Structure 1
C-alpha cells in the first residue's frame, strides 16, 4: 500500500498541487480541467479588495452576508466560517459535552471524517446510520446530524430527511445539517426544500461546491444556536476572515442553477459514451463517477493484477489524469479522508461547454496508462509522491 496514512494523503495532495503549478507555468490555466465540482472562485472588484482590512472588511460585508446568506439557506442568522469542517467542529464544541452522544443519518457510508473526529475531540460517543429503521437517538444525545448530500453526491430522500428531524425534535435534540453541496444539489436538481425549511436548527454549506465561491463554510439557523457556535468559532479561530466573507457574498449573488441544469442534460450522453467500453461508471446528479469498488471490479474483469491497494489505484489514476491530461479530480487534490471516488462533474466551468468526445478520449487514454503503470509499484509511487 502506497498511501496508508493521513500524512501520505497530505504528501499526495502536495504532489498534485506541484503538478498543477507546473502545468500553469508551462502551458497556462486553459490546459487544466477541474471536474471536482469544488473549483469555486473569488469574485471581487478592485474597490471591494481595498476594503479587506481586519476590522473594516467585516463592518462592510457581514451585514450584506446576513441578507444574501439567509436568502440562500434560510434561517434566522448566518455565520461565515473558514470551512464547512470548521462549522461542524464549532457546532460540536458548542453543543456537545463529554459523555454525550451524536447520532448521524446519511444516504450512504462513510460520513465526512470531520464529524466523528469532532466528536472524538469533545469525548462524545458517535453512531451513523443509512437505514431509518435502525436509526436511534439515545437518551444522552445532544445533537443529531444529517448529511443532505454525501461526498459522492448521494442525496437523502426528503421524506427521510423530515422524519429524522421530527424524531430529534420529539426528544428536544437540535439538528445540524451538513449540506456542503446539498444546499444547491438538493434544491436545484432534486427540487427539495432548504434544510431550515424542513425544520433543521442549523445548516452548514461549502461555498466552493457547485457555486463560484471560495473554499469556506456558511452556516445558518436558529439565532440562539448560531450565537453559541459563533462564540466557539471565535475562540478557536474557526471564523471566516474578510476576504472569504466578501467572496461568499459575491458567490451567492452570482449563483444560478443554469450550470447544474445543463450538466443534467449532458450526463446521459456522456454516460452512454463511456458505457460502450466500460462498466465502472455510475451516474451522479451532475456527471459520472467511478467508485473504489467499481474500479476494482473493472480491473478484475480485465484480468489486471496489481500489488496496489484499491485506494492506491484510485489515487494513481487521479494523478495520471492530472499530470498527463490536466484533469483535476478529488482523489488527487482532496484533503485527508476525502472520497477516493473519481468524479467527473460536468457542471464545472472548465468542461461545461467542452466536447464530450474530447473528454472521453482523455479519460480513455488515461485509463489505458493506469493499466500499464499499475504493474510497476516504484513508478506508481514516484507519480503519487511526485
Structure 2
C-alpha cells in the first residue's frame, strides 16, 4: 500500500497543498479548478475586518449570526465552531456517558469518522446502520445520531428521518443530526425540511460545504442543549474565532440555492460524456463521482495497488496535470477516498464540460500507464 495510515494521509495532504501553492504562484488562481464542493470562501469588507478583535468581533458578529443562522438551520439558538467535527465531539462529550450506547442511522455507510472516534474517547458503545429495518434503540442509549447527507452525498429519506427522531423521543433520548452538507443539499435540492424543524434536538453543518463560507461548523438546536454544549466548546477551545464567525455570517447571507439547482441539471451532461469511456461513474445530486471500487473496476492492467491507492494516484494526476482539486488529495485522515467532481462550486459555473471530460480521460490514461510502477505512484502522491 502507498497510503497506509493517518500519518501518510497527513503527508499526502501536505504534498497536495504544496502543489496547489506552486500552481497559484506560477500560473495564477485561475489555473485551479476546485471541484470538491468544499471550496468555501471568506466574504468580508474592510469595515468588518477592522472589527475582528478578540472581544469586539464576537460581540458584534456572533449576535448577528444568531438571526441568519436560525433562519438557515432552524432551532432556537446557534453556536459557531471551528469545525463540524468539533461540534460532534462537544455534543458527545456533553451528552454521552461511559458505557452507554450511541446508535446512528444514515443513508449509506460509513459515517464520518469523527462520530465513532468521539464515542471511543468517552468509552461509549457505538453502532451504525444504513438499513432502516435493522435500526433499533437499545436500553441505556444516551444519544441517537442521524446523518442527513453522507460524505458521498447520499441523502436520507425524509420519512425515515422523521421515524428515527420519533423513535428516539419516545424514549426521551436526544437526537443529533450530522447535516454537514445536508443542511443545504437536502433542503434546496430535495425540498426536505430543516433538521430542527423535523424535531432534531441538535443539528450541525459545515459552513464551507456547498456555500461560500469558511472551514467551520455551525450548530443549531434546543437552547438548553446548546448552552450545555457551549460549556464544553469553550473548555476545550473548540469555538470559532471572530474571523470565521464573520465569514460564516456573510457566507450564509450570500448562499444561493440556484447554484445547487443549476449543478443538479448539468451533472447529467457530464455523466453522459463520461459514460462514453467509463462504466462506473455515478451521479451525485450536484455532480458525478467514482468510488475507489468503481475506479478499480475500470483498470484492465495488472497492478498491486489497493483500491484507495488507485483513487489517490488518480486524483493527484488530476491535480498536477490539470489543476483539478478533488477531495482525496486534500482530505483529512479517515475521509472518503471517493473522487467527486462537484459542479456547484464557483470554479465549475462556467467550466466547459467537454474540456473537463477530456482532462478526466487523459488523467485516467496516465493512471493506467503508471500503476505498474509502485515507486512512481508513491512519488506522485508524496512528492510535489
* Same fold? TM cut 0.5: yes
**CA deviation string 1:43-67 (max 9, x = no partner):** 0011111111110100010110000
Find the aligned partners of 1:293 and 1:381 in 2 and give their Cα distance: 20
Within 5 Å, give how 1:268-307 maps onto structure 2. Answer: 268-299=268-299, 303-307=300-304
2:51 aligned residue? 51
1:364 aligned residue? 361
Find the aligned partners of 2:229 and 2:246 in 1 and give their Cα distance: 21
**CA deviation string 1:66-88 (max 9, x = no partner):** 00000000000000000000000
Find the aligned partners of 2:369 and 2:270 in 1 and give their Cα distance: 25
Find the aligned partners of 1:146 and 1:298 in 2 and give their Cα distance: 33
2:348 aligned residue? 351
**CA deviation string 1:178-214 (max 9, x = no partner):** 0000000000100000000100000000000000000
2:372 corresponds to 1:383: no
Find the aligned partners of 1:25 and 1:384 in 2 and give their Cα distance: 20
How many aligned residue pairs are there? 383
**Cα drift, residue 311 of structure 1:** 0.5
Find the aligned partners of 1:149 and 1:374 in 2 and give their Cα distance: 33
1:93 aligned residue? 93
**CA deviation string 1:129-185 (max 9, x = no partner):** 111111111111110000000000000000000000000001100000000000000
**Cα drift, residue 383 of structure 1:** 1.2
After TM superposition, which residue ranges in structure 1, 4 or more long, deviate above 6 angstroms? Answer: none
Find the aligned partners of 1:305 and 1:163 in 2 and give their Cα distance: 47
Find the aligned partners of 2:69 and 2:231 in 1 and give their Cα distance: 19
Find the aligned partners of 1:23 and 1:256 in 2 and give their Cα distance: 29
1:137 aligned residue? 137
2:159 aligned residue? 159
**CA deviation string 1:266-308 (max 9, x = no partner):** 1111111110111021000011000111111111xxx221111
Find the aligned partners of 1:113 and 1:304 in 2 and give their Cα distance: 33
Show structure 2 runs of 5+ residues with no match: none
**Cα drift, residue 342 of structure 1:** 0.3
1:308 aligned residue? 305
2:66 corresponds to 1:66: yes
1:190 aligned residue? 190
User: TM-score with structure 1 length normalisation?
Assistant: 0.99
**CA deviation string 1:187-243 (max 9, x = no partner):** 010000000010000000000000000000000000000011100000000010000
**Cα drift, residue 353 of structure 1:** 1.2
User: TM-score with structure 2 length normalisation?
Assistant: 0.99
C-alpha RMSD over aligned residues: 0.6
2:318 aligned residue? 321
2:348 aligned counterpart, secondary structure: coil
**CA deviation string 1:359-378 (max 9, x = no partner):** 11111101100001111111
1:208 aligned residue? 208
2:346 aligned counterpart, secondary structure: coil
1:229 aligned residue? 229
**Cα drift, residue 382 of structure 1:** 0.8
1:262 aligned residue? 262
Find the aligned partners of 2:225 and 2:234 in 1 and give their Cα distance: 14
